[in-house]
Amino acid sequence: MRVLIIEDEARLARNIAKALKETRSYAVDISTDGEDGRHQAFSNPYDLIVLDLMLPKVGGLEILASLRREGNRVPVLILTARDATQDIIQGLDSGCDDYMTKPFDMGEFLARCKALVRRTYDRPDPVVRVGELSVDTSSRIVTLRGRRISLRAMEYRLLEYLVLRAGQIVSKAEILEHLYDFNAESFSNVIEVHISALRRRLDTGSPHALIHTVRGQGYVIEETPA
Amino acid sequence: MRSLSIKLQLSLMVSFLALVIVAVLSIVAYIKFEESLLGNIDTTLRYMGGAIRAELEEKGVPPENREAAFRAITGHDASGHPSQCHIWMEGSEEDLFTSDSPGASLAPGLLHPPAEERPDVGDLSLFNIAGVTESRAKSGLRALWMRRALQGQVVNILVARPSGQLYYELEEFLRLLLVSGGSVTLIVLLLVPRIVSWGLRSVTYAGKQLGQITHRNLAQDSMMTGSVPAELGPFKSALDGMLGRMNEAMRQQERLTADVAHELRTPLAVITSTLQILRMQPRTTTEYEEGVDDALQDLRRMAQLVGQLLTLARLDAVDKIPDPVEVRLDILLESLAEVFADRAEQQGASVVYTRSEAVCVQGDEAELRQLFTNLIENALRYGPQNGMVCIALQDGPSPWVTVCVHDRGGAIPPEVLPHLFDRFYRGDSSRSQASGGTGLGLAIVREIVLRHHGDIVITSDPHTGTTVTVRLPRK
């Protein structure tokens, strides 16, 4: 999952990014002014945008409005020190999905981010099941046929993204875009390495592989018909 | 003290006026009526007197005929009230004629007329003779006394008619006047309050509307909607103006409160998030140290902000400097320059103060120190890295003392210049603390300059840099 934080208070942005990376293993980009933030929001497919309202150059509401005008439906969480009811109403009217006022509780913030991302993939239930595999996106516990499987952070992120889009072919490019931020060194064979690692961990004697390669297009996770 | 209501005042005034008018009219009417009634009697008396004189002047008339003529003249007139008559020659004890009769004896006033009423010869006088019965006026007489020269002698002719009827009539008239005047006054008393209420209805309405003003609906264009009487026009526009100013002040206060909330919430959010992240999972000592340092730094920033807010609140609360003293501006600036030179050196910048002769201003030393501290801090903050801040003090132009703080910082856009002294203004909608300022420094500067009756100007040019010029009245 890839998140964009547009927040001019640099330390706060770094803190949020750190929390999202550590607890959710999200890829996070930070932008500290409105102009750059808008540019990034339009150029990358984010799964969530955390938006401050009072930004240098371009205001948060303006960014939100231009995103929605272009038909971009990325979930947007407004994080601002403005707490007047009319500000909240204005934000919700402009098409934000959630609104939090500073100072906020980090735990609540993370929970709301999680819920927003889940909603993007149309899965209100935090537990996603594909055949005998079950991924709890809330506690990040993966079980296969009732047995708990431990995964590395990157492997989990990859698996979570695949199961959220279960049944769909996910291209390498999409995986790169959603799982890595700008700071990550991304090579296309990195994906292949993680995929094969993931396959090994999920291959516990079942005759049916879960992750399939679609030649020339990408990967798909689905229950193979027996 | 609460004054009487307009309604009551107007009612009392109008009623009093009505009462006075009615009373004056009644008195005038009464007097005129009395005069006209007396005038009737007097005309009759004059006629009778004239006729008697003519009769006396006629010669060779036998006394019986003459007496009969006198009786004819005075005895029976149209109203049926008998007149009385007394005619005598002066110096003679004998009366020429009296209308004395057993039925109506001659009134004492006619037998011995009061000497003060005696007219000159050839003239006549008219006077009243009081009655003898209880109601003296009603049984009184109106008399005419005439003295004429006749054949070398003076003849006195005295005729009188009862005037009682006149007073009956006057009394009736007075009663009528009292009744009608009283009812007019009563009607006025009853009607005026209603008329006044009706006339004042727009005031009552305005009062009701004013009663509905709260701090929430101050923004309305006009409180008194609908037409107002011309007299209330200036009142209404003054009131609208006042409400407008109050509204502006209110909005300003609201903006400031919102800004303060924002400025305090942001560092709070940063500190909270820093500390919460530290607690999310076990950290290394270095991570803990960094987190605590970050939190401390943000707390310092908050403390600075709170300090500046309190400074501004204090400056706002008291318009005047509590006890102004003479301040040696040259010494103050020199000490500040020394303090900042050390600090600037650590950042590779420098602060240069151009010495000046002794210059004094009247004011508060701590406030002036704050003023120039803020200006030098700004110059160091917004000036270029390794830049130079120049402080110059000049005694003049009269009657001013001028202080310039100059840095070679980038140009401030002209559209921003007028807003630099606004609280929390930072050039764009962001409240970024990247620069480390609180957005209150220049607001405080301006307040202090105004309190010292000075002025402040900021000029900015991409080539020469930014100069802040403060002028203070020289002591």
What tens digit of pLDDT does each residue of A130-172 get? 888 888 887 888 888 888 888 888 888 888 888 888 888 888 8
Residues B465 and B354 in one domain: yes
CATH label of the domain that carries residue B409: 3.30.565.10
CATH label of the domain that carries residue B142: 3.30.450.20
The mean pLDDT of A200-206, rounded to a whole number, is 74
Tell me whether residue A37 is in a domain. Answer: yes
Residues A151 and A197 in one domain: yes
Residues B154 and B47 in one domain: yes
Q: How confident is the model at residue B433 (pLDDT cuts 50, 70, 90)?
A: very low
**Tokens 């405080």 found at:** B444
The mean pLDDT of B354-370, rounded to a whole number, is 87
Q: What percent of chain A has pLDDT over 90?
A: 23
Residues B293 and B248 in one domain: yes
Residues A101 and A186 in one domain: no
Report which of residues A184 and B288 the model is more confident about. B288
Q: Chain B within 8 Å of A101 (Cβ-Cβ)?
A: yes
Residues A22 and A76 in one domain: yes
B299 has a pLDDT exceeding 70: yes
Residues A7 and A103 in one domain: yes
- Residues of chain B contacting A84 with CB distance shorter than 8 Å: 258
Domain boundary residue, one of B292, B314, B336: B314
Residues B358 and B415 in one domain: yes
Residues B308 and B337 in one domain: no
Tell me whether residue B188 is in a domain. Answer: no
Q: How confident is the model at residue B78 (pLDDT cuts 50, 70, 90)?
A: very low
Q: How confident is the model at residue A64 (pLDDT cuts 50, 70, 90)?
A: very high
Tell me whether residue B448 is in a domain. Answer: yes
Domain boundary residue, one of A120, A141, A173: A120
CATH label of the domain that carries residue A155: 1.10.10.10
**Tokens 């592989």 found at:** A209
Residues A183 and A137 in one domain: yes
Of B268, B277, B428, which is closest to A56 when you measure between CB atoms?
Answer: B428
Tell me whether residue A226 is in a domain. Answer: no
Q: Chain B within 8 Å of A107 (Cβ-Cβ)?
A: yes
CATH label of the domain that carries residue A75: 3.40.50.2300
A16 has a pLDDT exceeding 90: yes
Q: How confident is the model at residue B429 (pLDDT cuts 50, 70, 90)?
A: very low
Cα separations (Å) of B465 from B384, B413, B434, B460? 10, 12, 21, 6
Residues A21 and A107 in one domain: yes
The whole-number pLDDT of residue B448 equals 92
Q: Provide the mean pLDDT of chain B.
A: 82
**Whether the Cβ atoms of residue A2 and residue A40 lie closer than 8 Å to each other:** no
Tell me whether residue A31 is in a domain. Answer: yes
B165 has a pLDDT exceeding 80: no
Tell me whether residue B206 is in a domain. Answer: no
**CB spacing of B269 vs A105 below 8 angstroms:** no
Domain boundary residue, one of B299, B314, B329: B314
Domain of residue A54 covers: 2-120
- Residues of chain A contacting B298 with CB distance shorter than 8 Å: 11
Q: What percent of chain B has pLDDT over 90?
A: 12
The whole-number pLDDT of residue A63 equals 92
Residues A6 and A115 in one domain: yes
What tens digit of pLDDT does each residue of B200-230 get? 787 777 778 778 877 777 766 666 566 667 7
Domain count, chain B: 3
The mean pLDDT of A113-118, rounded to a whole number, is 87
Q: How confident is the model at residue B247 (pLDDT cuts 50, 70, 90)?
A: confident
The whole-number pLDDT of residue B426 equals 61
Of B265, B266, B277, which is closest to A15 when you measure between CB atoms?
Answer: B277
**CB spacing of A54 vs B294 below 8 angstroms:** no
Domain count, chain A: 2
The whole-number pLDDT of residue A112 equals 92
Residues A18 and A93 in one domain: yes
The whole-number pLDDT of residue B257 equals 83
Domain boundary residue, one of A101, A120, A139: A120
Tell me whether residue B339 is in a domain. Answer: yes
Residues B88 and B161 in one domain: yes
Residues B281 and B416 in one domain: no
Q: Provide the mean pLDDT of chain A.
A: 85
**Pick among B257, B275, B305, B430 to test the A interface (most A CBs inside 10 A):** B430
Tell me whether residue A181 is in a domain. Answer: yes
Tell me whether residue B412 is in a domain. Answer: yes
Tell me whether residue B97 is in a domain. Answer: yes
Domain boundary residue, one of B170, B194, B209: B170
Task: Please give the Cα distance from B264 to A52 (Å, whole number).
Answer: 16
**Lowest-pLDDT choice from A47-61, A195-209, B318-332, B375-389:** A195-209
B80 has a pLDDT exceeding 60: no
- Residues of chain B contacting A57 with CB distance shorter than 8 Å: 428, 430
Residues B285 and B425 in one domain: no
Q: Chain B within 8 Å of A10 (Cβ-Cβ)?
A: yes
The whole-number pLDDT of residue B344 equals 85
CATH label of the domain that carries residue B250: 1.10.287.130
- Residues of chain A contacting B254 with CB distance shorter than 8 Å: none
Q: Chain B within 8 Å of A59 (Cβ-Cβ)?
A: yes
Tell me whether residue A159 is in a domain. Answer: yes
Residues A91 and A196 in one domain: no
Which of B204, B207, B241 lies closest to B222 in space, CA to CA? B241
Q: Chain A within 8 Å of B274 (Cβ-Cβ)?
A: yes
Task: Give Rg (Cα) of chain B.
Answer: 53
Residues A7 and A88 in one domain: yes
Residues B35 and B120 in one domain: yes
Residues A28 and A113 in one domain: yes
Report which of residues B404 and A84 the model is more confident about. B404
Residues A115 and A100 in one domain: yes
Domain boundary residue, one of A99, A120, A141: A120
**Lowest-pLDDT choice from A22-26, B294-298, B453-457:** A22-26
Residues B252 and B336 in one domain: no
Domain of residue B269 covers: 230-314
